[in-house]
A and B are shown apart, each in its own frame.
Chain A
């Protein structure tokens, strides 16, 4: 038999090896065929503090994390103290016997009997293998892969500690409180977090250039690209600042390669003039903003959805843009691709808004169909443009043929000043107006390609939960739980938040008896945008801005307590 749904939380100080244990275990779970949703919470420090890595595990498909913890792996006594209140009724706490607190369900392990400080992580993995009922060979292989090629004596020592830990666990006749039901799928899957999926999606679409300045929680995007750079043919450059980063990406794009930047709120603030430059020069650029709580430095390592309005309005002057907000790791991959395609097609900045929760959330992902993944075709055919070539020739769609400098005898002239169709600076006010109109005509094309929000549930529900981005899983799961209680409920999840096309969703808002907006910010930014674009006022809100992700429990508790209701 075994459990269908287990949430395991590993907690401890930074530098204790918590992420090592968690990453190896997660890899082993994915390879064993389980679905996972990872939530990482960490402090902005390299050593000490209190960090957690939570893995929700199920043989069935799961889409959200859960707040209640079934198995707490406490790498220090503080972890037990901090998380006791979150424990589910059927729970177990695993702890080194040296911390030995008084607690009914505590499993005390004499780690010092079979592991040194260096190998204690391996011992934890051995005990967890038995507690969860995993195949020890799969876990040990994940451990070997994680550490890479090691000296034979190191591998031998790890193997010995792992075997001893498993033996110890067998001798104890461990409780089966958290033993997992067998996995159903043997299909190979990828273990990917949101940021890795963004990077891989971009590479598959032909990304060749990324410039960045390190900023949590965006940095793992350029680092994933950098790890692939030599084999895939990418240049990934750490710029002197974010201003340089976006200008480099614009330069690379002008010269003919798909280019991106990735940053977070404060870094994006520095990029804003560059966003406007891309809009004016009609240079494709893909911009990822991985949100964290602001203002200013805020909470550097936590999550929030506070930058929708900022990204929507970033850049002086008027020019078209699109903003994606993936709700799953798979969407991170596909919307990263879509952003690069749209950037090239409409020659304008295209955004992807993610957040710390999704950036760091590992999931088991079915491998992508590579044959279907075409790359962006950059630029127009130099043989097909009229002579003399005009970079900003007026067209019905607003999109002008884009040639690349140096690849033909045509000259490619771009200007941040208002310019004539041939790209030269002008103060002819008639041309100015024509150019504004030309640039804004591109929005009709972008609008025609908007991905409608996903609508799931009853057609005329008593309750419609509306959300965007990374809350998708939590909202869908909350809706499913309410449906199981007999409620007429539905969910509306936006994975593209600009442009908004009212025809895609206004009927749904109007057909529900009550609409509740679920957002990871304090002001209800998407609700305000929906009202601006449609006139539809959403009176009730569930908002979270304490730095933690929204969970199904958070939504259900808020609904039950009447939080956010109209007063």
Chain B
């Protein structure tokens, strides 16, 4: 286990009391307990308050466009599949703007860990509905309440039989650390949806609201039982389950490539002899 201080301590741009302040130390702790030194991990993030999180710790980082962290992460991982890659962003970036990439990433099953700070609201742009806002949630942009049904990221991930699907809560740090560590250790695509209060723009789904509803799935829960996982993923309202909801063991995407078996692409030389052979096919 590494010393958590190696990930540093930085001033942030978040509002006082933001749920992100609970998630950031949990991420550092999970890295330390997973023995991943700063240079041994690459974060890919999008845009939003959550996507700033990797700026506030020591690690490699590519902070890209809104919604596009998964394809960047896919390319980075395929270029060097010996380097752990963590995708970190919010619900709007991950499930709204990046929705198509979310579906494709689960289907590909590239070995990535996706951490989604899910506060059910757009924070950076000051309080519009997000894809996970509950029906009836009132904002300046949705003055009559949200009409659309919320996107259920866990149910979608379970429906697509993602390799690892978990939910955590920013207010339950040890459990959150455990979920991130398990996601990092699990091969293939791993999603950790992290419920997080937004103190500035979500006056409904507050810290207390989540605290009163969240419960940790018991040890007897079998995350490899897909029908049960589908039911569990749909549980929302008075009781909200936390924990590993579904686990699968499909071969990670990168394991299918013959050319990646010996070493990562980034270390492979270009063979002039093989190129000569290739050209001969065109004679």
Contact = CB atoms under 8 A, between A and B. Distances in A.
A368 B279 contact: yes
Main secondary structure of the interface of B (DSSP, over half): helix
B232 to A, nearest CB: 28
Interface in A183-199: 188-192, 196
Interface string B168-194: 000000000000000000000000000
Contact of B278 (A200, A248, A281): A200
B265 A233 contact: yes
Q: How extensive is the interface on chain A, given as a class?
A: 35 or more
B259 A230 contact: yes
A243 B282 contact: no
Contact of A247 (B47, B58, B72, B266): B72
A417 interface: yes
Contacts of B141: none
Interface in B65-118: 65, 68, 70-80, 82-83, 100-101, 103-104
B275 A251 contact: no
A254 B78 contact: no
| B44, B72, B268: most-surrounded residue (chain A CB, <10 A) | B72
Given A256-B266, A411-B38, A411-B58, A208 B64 contact: no
A251 B77 CA distance: 8
Given A203-B278, A370-B272, A255 B258 contact: no
A255 B82 CA distance: 11
Contacts of A411: 38-39, 58-61
A240 B110 CA distance: 14
Contacts of B271: 232-233
Contact of B64 (A31, A204, A416): A416
B47 to A, nearest CB: 7
Given A190-B283, A203-B275, A244-B71, A251 B40 contact: no
Given A235-B257, A274-B68, A425-B52, A375 B270 contact: yes
Given A190-B282, A240-B101, A416 B47 contact: yes
B98 to A, nearest CB: 9
Given A252-B79, A255-B83, A191 B282 contact: yes
B282 A192 contact: yes
Contact of A281 (B62, B79, B282): B62
B276 interface: yes
B61 A371 contact: no
Interface in B232-249: none
A231 B274 contact: yes
Contact of A244 (B59, B100, B258, B269): B100
B83 to A, nearest CB: 4
Interface string B46-63: 010000100100111111
Interface residues of B, number: 55
Contact of A254 (B62, B259, B269, B276): B62
A375 B265 CA distance: 14
Nearest to A254: B62
A167 interface: no
A417 B63 contact: yes
A389 to B, nearest CB: 10
Contacts of B38: 411
Interface stretch (A116-124, A318-326, A400-408, A547-555): A400-408
Contacts of B269: 375
A248 B71 contact: yes
B257 A251 contact: no
Contact of B76 (A254, A410, A413): A254
B219 interface: no
A211 B55 contact: no
B104 to A, nearest CB: 4
B38 to A, nearest CB: 6
Contacts of B265: 208-209, 233-235, 252, 257
Contacts of B199: none
A370 B78 contact: no
A474 interface: no
B39 A253 contact: no
A462 interface: no
A250 B64 contact: yes
A241 interface: yes
| B103, B104, B270: most-surrounded residue (chain A CB, <10 A) | B270
Interface string A206-248: 1011010000000000000000111111110101110111011
B120 interface: no
Nearest to A244: B71
Nearest to A378: B266
A231 to B, nearest CB: 6
A240 B74 CA distance: 12
B253 to A, nearest CB: 9
B279 A367 contact: yes
B59 to A, nearest CB: 7
B65 A416 contact: yes
A289 interface: no
B4 interface: no
Contacts of A408: 39
A277 interface: yes
Given A211-B75, A251-B76, A240 B68 contact: no
A37 interface: no
Nearest to B254: A235
A252 B78 contact: yes
B282 A196 contact: yes
Given A234-B259, A370-B279, A255 B65 contact: no
| B73, B103, B283: most-surrounded residue (chain A CB, <10 A) | B283
Contacts of B275: 203-204, 232, 370, 373
| B40, B42, B104: most-surrounded residue (chain A CB, <10 A) | B42
A144 interface: no
Contacts of A241: 100
A186 to B, nearest CB: 13
Given A239-B71, A240-B103, A411-B38, A232 B47 contact: no
Contacts of A18: none
A233 B259 contact: yes
Given A203-B275, A252-B79, A406-B40, A229 B259 contact: yes
A424 interface: yes
A410 to B, nearest CB: 7
Given A204-B275, A235-B260, A253 B61 contact: no
**Lowest 9 CB-CB distances: which A-B pairs, in order?**
A251-B75, A405-B60, A251-B72, A252-B75, A248-B75, A247-B71, A255-B79, A406-B83, A240-B104
Given A251-B64, A367-B283, 16 more contacts: A31-B283, A191-B282, A229-B259, A235-B260, A244-B100, A248-B74, A251-B77, A257-B79, A274-B65, A370-B272, A370-B276, A405-B83, A406-B39, A411-B38, A416-B64, A425-B52
10 contacts: A31-B283, A233-B271, A243-B68, A368-B279, A405-B83, A406-B39, A409-B39, A414-B63, A417-B63, A425-B52
